[in-house]
C-alpha cells in the first residue's frame, strides 16, 4: 500500500530576475527569485572581458625560471 503525502507538492514555478519573469519551470517551490541567469550573465551574453595583462605561459616560466634553465641547456650543447 503506497504512503500518502510522501512527496512534496509540485508547482509550475515562475522564475523572476530583477522583477521580470524569466522562465517557468516545474519544482517544489511556488516562486523563485534569482540574481543571475543565462540571459544577463556576461559569459552567455558575450560581454565578458578577460583581462590578461601578462601571458599565462610567460608568468609560469618566470615564476619557475624556466626560460633561464632552457637557455642554459641550449648554450651548453
Does residue 39 form part of some domain? yes
Does residue 34 form part of some domain? yes
Radius of gyration of the chain (CA): 27
Q: What is the pLDDT of residue 36?
A: 84
Q: What is the pLDDT of residue 26?
A: 94
**Number of domains present in the structure of the chain:** 1
Does residue 62 form part of some domain? no
In this prediction the pTM is: 0.49
Q: What is the pLDDT of residue 28?
A: 93
Domain range for 30 is 7-48
Q: What is the pLDDT of residues 10-68, one digit of tens each?
A: 999 999 988 889 899 999 999 999 888 888 877 777 776 766 666 777 777 788 876 66
Position 4 confidence tier, pLDDT thresholds 50, 70, 90? confident
Does residue 37 form part of some domain? yes
Amino acid at each position: 500500500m503506497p504512503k500518502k503525502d510522501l512527496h512534496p507538492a509540485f508547482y509550475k514555478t515562475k522564475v523572476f530576475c530583477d522583477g521580470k519573469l524569466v522562465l517557468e519551470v516545474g519544482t517544489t517551490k511556488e516562486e523563485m527569485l534569482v540574481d543571475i541567469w543565462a540571459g544577463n550573465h556576461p559569459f552567455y551574453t558575450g560581454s565578458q572581458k578577460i583581462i590578461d595583462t601578462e601571458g599565462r605561459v610567460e608568468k609560469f616560466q618566470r615564476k619557475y625560471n624556466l626560460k633561464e634553465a632552457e637557455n642554459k641547456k641550449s648554450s651548453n650543447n
